[in-house]
Structure 1
Amino acid sequence: MTWLHHIIGPDDGSATIAQFCARAVILFLYGILCIRIAGRRTFSNLSALDLIVALVVGSNISRAMTGKAPFVGTLAATLVLVLLHRLVALATVRSNWLALFVKGRPAVLVRDGEIDGKAMLRHGISKEDLIEGMRMEQVAHLNEVALATMERGGKISIIRKTRPARPPV
């Protein structure tokens, strides 16, 4: 361990420029390792759990970088958190109960062009948020919406009403 402390410097913020650069290289590689272990999903479609893990991992790496926390202990605790996140993610695939507990369930906001005001209020979705979600799906009018759902990841998904087929000309 002495060799590592020689490379990364002390944990009191008094490391040399070269030691901070060594920390940066180690933490960059460590961050890639954490992403590979946690899975790409963790840092792309952020659920509440994914967001918390991403913030804590970033915070821990930052503190290890600046010497505000013990380097090795911080990396060990971060790795435990990432592994725990990965295990919970794998367990939610196998357990519907755990998936509902961790991820919640989707909420229907619009059905057949009719807004469910209670669902929107319960999930903190304004009409402007709904209209934004519709624009993202290239839907201009509420009467075009068969189903709008607040998904477990926080995205609003839209299913258009089917249009009757046009007769051949």
Structure 2
Amino acid sequence: MDMIFFDSWQAVWRTGILGMLAYASLVVLLRISGRRTLSKMNAFDLVVTVALGSTLASVILSKSVTLSQGVVAFALLIGMQFIVTWTSVRVPWVRQIVTGEPALLFYQGQCLPTALKRARVTEEEIRAAVRSNGMASMDEAHAVVLETDGSFSVVPQGTSGEASSLSDVVRPGRYDRPNG
């Protein structure tokens, strides 16, 4: 019964020292790799962030994982993240695979049912996104976009035109792209 709450002081010290060293190693590697490594730009970035956290926990708590193995695992994950993001910035088809594309869910006063079903989003979630952007009425929203990171962007009325932020968002159905 004692093993559930306390094993030994050696195990406690090991956890503390490894935790500090592993955390410091991760911080150094993240600083070297740049800000993009922990960005929340898409699902791929989230997976890397979760994998880094899981690896950190394994290094700290598992007696079978050494600090050097953990640092190599951190470097591998960060290196792969760097390679994928570097490539996705330069090669369009890689970017498409890694990030996908934003989905237009609401446009010019109407929900787009096909897009809602494809994205598995309800009209209630669209209304919630509009409210969370400080709009009291759906009429105040020009468009709602499900971004590649899973967040909603609400574009207010009066923001159409050639320089519209919707220019890269494909509209499902009979139109290829929104007209501003």
TM-score (norm 1): 0.79
What letter matches 1:101 in structure 2? I
Residue 134, structure 1, aligned to residue 151, structure 2: no
Match of 1:81 in 2: 77
Q: Among residues 30, 35, 38, which one is paired with 1:40 in the alignment?
A: 35
For residues 75 and 89 of structure 2, the distance between their equivalents in structure 1, rounded to whole angstroms, comes to 22
What letter matches 2:77 in structure 1? L
SS in 2 for 1:153: coil
Are the counterparts in 2 of residues 38 and 85 from structure 1 also a CA contact under 8 Å? no
After superposition, where does 1:98-113 map in structure 2 within 5 Å?
Answer: 98-113=94-109
- Per the TM alignment, residue 142 of structure 1 is displaced from its structure 2 partner at its CA by 1.8
What letter matches 2:131 in structure 1? R
SS in 1 for 2:155: strand
TM-score (norm 2): 0.74
Match of 2:16 in 1: 21
Structure 1 vs Structure 2: percent identity of aligned residues? 23
- Deviations along 1:16-66, one digit per CA (max 9) or x if unpaired, are 433322201101212212432454344342521111111111111111101
Q: Which moved more, 1:30-39 or 1:77-86?
A: 30-39
- Per the TM alignment, residue 103 of structure 1 is displaced from its structure 2 partner at its CA by 0.2
Residues 42 and 119 of structure 1: is their aligned pair in 2 closer, same or farther, counting only changes over 3 Å?
Answer: farther
Residue 52, structure 1, aligned to residue 47, structure 2: yes
What letter matches 1:64 in structure 2? V
For residues 131 and 34 of structure 2, the distance between their equivalents in structure 1, rounded to whole angstroms, comes to 30
- Deviations along 1:49-84, one digit per CA (max 9) or x if unpaired, are 111111111111111101244212232123111111
Residues 39 and 133 of structure 1: is their aligned pair in 2 closer, same or farther, counting only changes over 3 Å?
Answer: farther
Structure 2: stretches of 5+ with no match in the other structure: 1-7, 160-180
For residues 126 and 71 of structure 2, the distance between their equivalents in structure 1, rounded to whole angstroms, comes to 41
Are the counterparts in 2 of residues 144 and 161 from structure 1 also a CA contact under 8 Å? yes
Residues 35 and 115 of structure 1: is their aligned pair in 2 closer, same or farther, counting only changes over 3 Å?
Answer: same
Aligned length: 151
For residues 96 and 78 of structure 2, the distance between their equivalents in structure 1, rounded to whole angstroms, comes to 21
Are the counterparts in 2 of residues 134 and 158 from structure 1 also a CA contact under 8 Å? yes
What letter matches 1:125 in structure 2? V
